[in-house]
Amino acid sequence: MPEGPEVDTDKLHETISERLEKEGGDFLKRIAVTTAVLAAFAAVAALQAGATVNEALLLKTEATRAQAEASDQWAYYQAKSVKSTIYATQAAASKSSNPDLAAKAQQEAERYATEEAEVSKAAKDFEKEAHEETQLSAHSLEHHHRFAYAVTMFQVSIALAAVAALSRQKAMWLVGLAISMIGIVYFLDGFWLFF
């Protein structure tokens, strides 16, 4: 019976390690580099997604404020309209019995009618501002969606790269790279909105 193993296990382990390093080392290095690049893209895309959603929320808040101002102006317009109508009715009713009161009432009715037009214009301006802010908010939200899709694609690619590194499957890594290309398209589209 031999006292030690016939095969030098230290030598065998060293040979296996060298072979793995030689055969898998370049592959693992490529995976590591692409994963780092994808992580950087994912970080920038996540930052942009956060910035664009914040911008969309701010614009939507401004749109809501402008719509509230428009509603206030329309309520003010209604009040002016009611007063104008009351004075016009008073002028018509007192025209024959009290011409001085009728003239004053008519003057007030005309004043309120003039003010009505000014208030109506202000209300329409606020409505226009609300509409524009809402459109800008929706546009900013579209940018956010593109960046969020990009982050998702980059994360899937990184996960596939990890599986490829563990299983030493080059095909899995290539699938991850293909998915990362979709992420890059979304990333670039987040800045320009091509589709």
Q: What is the DSSP letter of 4?
A: S
Report if residue 41 sits inside a domain. yes
Provide the CB-side half-sphere exposure for 173 (13 A, CA).
17
pLDDT at 23: 58
Report if residue 119 sits inside a domain. yes
Q: Which structural domain range is residue 116 located in? A: 26-192
**Smallest Cα–Cα separation from 140: which of 45, 56, 48?**
56
pTM of the model: 0.70
Tens digit of pLDDT for each residue in 10-51?
A: 554 465 556 556 656 788 888 889 999 999 999 999 999 999
Report if residue 48 sits inside a domain. yes
pLDDT at 15: 59
Report if residue 5 sits inside a domain. no
Report if residue 20 sits inside a domain. no
Identify the three-state secondary structure at position 169: coil
Residue identified by tokens 């593109």 is: 146
Report if residue 13 sits inside a domain. no
pLDDT at 1: 41
pLDDT at 131: 95
- Per-10-residue mean pLDDT of the chain, 195 residues long, equals 46 56 74 91 94 94 95 93 90 88 90 91 94 94 94 94 89 95 95 73
Report if residue 154 sits inside a domain. yes
By the 8 A CB rule, do 109 and 91 touch? yes
Q: How many domains does the chain have?
A: 1
**Surface-to-core class of residue 1, CB atoms within 10 Å of its CB (0-12 exposed, 13-18 middle, 19+ buried):** exposed
Three-state secondary structure string covering 159-185? HHHHHHHHHCCHHHHHHHHHHHHHHHH
Report if residue 169 sits inside a domain. yes
